[in-house]
Amino acid sequence: MFQDMLRQKSFGASAAIFMALLIAPLIIPKFYTYILAVIFVTALLAMSLNMVVGHGGLFQFHHAAFYGVGAYTAGLILVKTSWPWWIGFIAGPIGAAVTGLVIGLFCIRLNKLYFGMLQISLGSLIWAIAFRWYRLTGGDDGIHGIPMPEFISGLKSSYYFVLILVAVCLILMYLILKSPFGTTLQAIRDNPERCAAVGINVRRHQLMGIVVATFFAGVAGVLFITVEGSIFPDLLFWVLSLEVFIMCLLGGWFTFGGPILGAAMIVSLRTFVGTYTEYWTLILGVILILLIFFLPDGIMGYNYLAKLRRRSKRRSASRAE
Amino acid sequence: METGQSITLAALSSHLLVGLSRAMILFIVTSGLSFVLGVLRVPNVAHGSLYMIGAFAAFSISTALGGGAWGFWLALILAPCVVALVSLIAERSLFCHLYEREHLMLLLFTFALMLILGDLTKMIWGADYRSIMAPPLLQGSVSIFDSPFPKYNLFLIIVGPIVAIGLWLFTSKTKIGKIARAAAVDREMVGAIGINVSWVFAFAFVLGCFLAGLGGALVSPTISVTLGMDHDIIIEAFLIVTIGGLGNMWGAMAGSLIFGITQSFGVLFWPQFAIVFPYAAVVIVLTLKPTGMLKSVW
């Protein structure tokens, strides 16, 4: 499978981008290094969401809940216990995956819209608990200045830590999506009835997909506290979930790298527009409406579809000859 | 678990009544959401924003009219109409062009609408807290089991069933209500017999949003009107619709009652985590019956 990946045309480009990002913090100002790190974290979150939404066809409407659970688990272990840091860093993603499993068990019995609505609701319960449990979570203020281990306490070192972990996660996701499990998941998205008829346990595959995706969301949550050093309830808020949803839509659902592009665009827009106006959500809403009307397959999806169309035209032309 | 006050019959009954009045607000808002969900099959994420706009509009109208009794009653009628107008504009200018598309796009559109309406509300009314006085007729309280109970909450307990009966009569007895219900079940068939389905959808959408605005106007004297009230209500409304059965009005009623009453008893028993009680009720209902208590319309 690795060889497959190396043979991909886009592999060279990805490697070049990765090398450029390795050098970047040496050249660009500090602020942009920080923005890049935020983009990596958000891109990982969007990619993990796309695993179940784009490739799995599930209405995962409250993905941020798992991101937040990962961040809160790791953050609380770092702040409230004297355990070594790596326990927190491992517990974050595992906590997110377990939450994903529990909520998934409830939601998976329902179909499409029911699934999404129930997930928004149950995820909001987690938000409400984080919001109200003042003594443990700091309530709506959250916890700031979480102590980080020595080797990732600086901006540059945390940048490299995030970059490398995100790259590893992306490779893992790619391999998972190309594995028999990943292709089964995509088959279920396209035709659940037929998959069930040939003996695939549809529900179990979808649940596994949710657990894997929420695990990666938890990783993103842990990386968030490495960059920001704080946790707050907005991480679990359902509006963030829908914002991540927009990133996937903007980049392209059915492409592998689309959500990365979407995340990069939305995060940079938010950063730069946010300095001019306080009405960022209004602009986000307008962007979303434009997307729905003019570019429903996303930027990379648009390219991909155009390529398919050209190929089918060429094929029909050669058949005509 | 520490109790806030000693639990007496008076405390129980007054919490029951508070829960009931809360349930009626929830029902009015949720029935609109459920109606849109039943006919258009779209969970309207912007429903909470319309509820918020209803409350703000009620504030503006009643202040503009001097804040007296007349101001309040007129606001109660006009604020939902303002909300309905807003939703009609959004529906006819943009939303109606999406009916042929997949459902996810419709849902994302309502989300975009929520983002835009939220910021527009911030632009128009700002981030301050507003409050509205109930009209003199409904101010003060009456004594029930020797404990005072606000008259306005009793008024809400009366209004809720009236709206329910009105909505039921409308959907089951009038022609347009019947057409809307038919469109919920089989939209192609409705189109085939020569009815303009697009307008039926527009009507259903506007009616649902009107109910959201009505809920917002009715709730405004009992809470402080502020930004962010949209997020709270929409989550609760989603939960209620899910446990009640999608698109089923009586399911919305049953869900609202469960939600409102468990919440107010939660306040009695464990104030800090009162929110956990309705969620626990929701989890229990869905474990027993994953598709909601009553039959969903689709």
User: Per residue in B35-79, pLDDT tens?
Assistant: 998 888 888 889 999 999 999 999 999 888 876 778 888 888 999
Number of neighbouring beta carbons within 10 Å of residue B5: 8
- On the 0-12 / 13-18 / 19+ scale of CB atoms within 10 A, A14 is middle
- DSSP notation for A37-56: HHHHHHHHHHHHHHHHHTTT
Mean pLDDT to the nearest integer, A155-169: 88
Domain-embedded: residue B269: no
Q: Which residue has the tokens 């987690």?
A: A126
Q: How confident is the model at residue A9 (pLDDT cuts 50, 70, 90)?
A: low
Angle at B129 between CA B127 and CA B132, to 5 degrees: 135
Q: Provide the greatest CA pair distance for chain A.
A: 76
A 10 A CB-CB count for B196 gives 12
Measured CA to CA, the distance from residue B30 to residue B212 in angstroms comes to 8
Percent of chain B with pLDDT over 70: 96
CB contact under 8 A, B235 and A121: yes
Asked if the structure places residue A304 within a domain, the reply is: no
- The answer to whether position B286 is within a domain reads no
Series of mean pLDDT values for 10-residue runs along chain B (298 residues): 58 84 92 89 89 92 80 88 92 84 84 91 86 79 76 89 91 86 82 86 92 92 85 87 85 91 85 79 81 71
Q: A35-87, pLDDT tens digit by residue?
A: 888 999 999 999 999 988 888 888 888 899 999 999 999 988 988 888 888 88
A164 close to A219: Cβ distance less than 8 angstroms = no
pLDDT at residue number B210: 94
For residues B216 and B86, give the distance between their C-alpha atoms in angstroms, rounded to a whole number.
Answer: 14
The predicted model gives A230-254 an average pLDDT of 87
Q: Which residue has the higher pLDDT, A112 or A120?
A: A120
For residue B57, what pLDDT is reported? Answer: 92
A129, A242, A286: residue with CB nearest B116:
A286
Which of B115, B238, B242 is closest, CB to CB, to A281? B115
**Containing structural domain, residue B161:** 31-227
A3 vs B227, more confident: B227
Total domains in chain B come to 1
Residue A239: CB partners within 8 Å, gap ≥ 6? Answer: B231
Give B118's contacts in chain A (Cβ within 8 Å): 281
Q: Is residue A98 part of a domain?
A: yes
* Residues in B touching A118 (Cβ below 8 Å): 242, 286
Chain B CB contacts of A116 below 8 Å: 43
Whose CA is closest to A55, among A168, A183, A152, A149? A183
What's the pLDDT at A209?
A: 92
Amino acid B1: pLDDT: 41
Retrieve residue B98's tokens.
Answer: 């999406």
Hey, of B95, B110, B116, B288, which one would you mutate to test binding to chain A, going by the most A CBs within 10 A of its CB?
Answer: B116
pLDDT, position A123: 87
Residue A301 vs residue A120, higher pLDDT: A120
Interchain CB distance below 8 Å, A285 and B275: no
Count the domains in chain A.
Answer: 1
Residue B13: burial class (beta carbons within 10 Å; 0-12, 13-18, 19+): middle
**Cα B273 to chain centroid, rounded:** 23
Provide the mean pLDDT of chain A: 85
Considering the domain boundaries, does residue B208 fall inside one? yes
For position B2, what pLDDT does the model report? 43
Query: Do residues A218 and A267 make contact, with C-beta atoms less than 8 angstroms apart?
Result: no
In a domain, residue B258? The reply is no
Do A279 and A286 meet the contact criterion of CB atoms below 8 Å apart? no
DSSP state letters, A128-185: HHHHH-HHHH-TTT-EE-----GGG-SHHHHHHHHHHHHHHHHHHHHHHHHSHHHHHH
Angle between the B276-288 and B249-269 helix axes, to the nearest 10 degrees? 140
Per the structure, the complete domain to which residue A217 belongs is given by: 2-239
pLDDT of A318 strictly over 70: no
Q: What is the mean pLDDT of residues A246-265?
A: 86
d(C-alpha A105, C-alpha B202), whole Å: 36
The residues of B whose Cβ lies within 8 A of any Cβ of A are 41, 43, 45, 94, 97-98, 101, 103-105, 108-109, 111-116, 118-120, 122-123, 231, 235, 238-239, 241-242, 246, 272-273, 275-276, 279, 282-283, 286-287, 290-291
Interface probe, candidates A62, A107, A121, A136, chain B, greatest B C-beta count within 10 A: A121
Does this complex have an ipTM over 0.85?
Answer: no
Question: Which residues does chain A have within 8 Å of residue B247's beta carbon, measured at their own beta carbons?
Answer: none
Q: How far does the CA of residue B170 sit from the closest CA of chain A (Å)?
A: 27
Q: Which residues pair with A144 in a beta bridge?
A: A230
Are A288 and B108 an interchain contact pair (Cβ–Cβ within 8 Å)? yes
Q: A114 and B120: CB-CB below 8 Å? A: no
Mutate to test the interface with A, among B108, B287, B295 (most CBs of A within 10 A): B108
Tokens of B127: 């981030």
CB contact under 8 A, B115 and A288: yes
**C-alpha closest to that of B49 among B206, B202, B163, B209:** B209
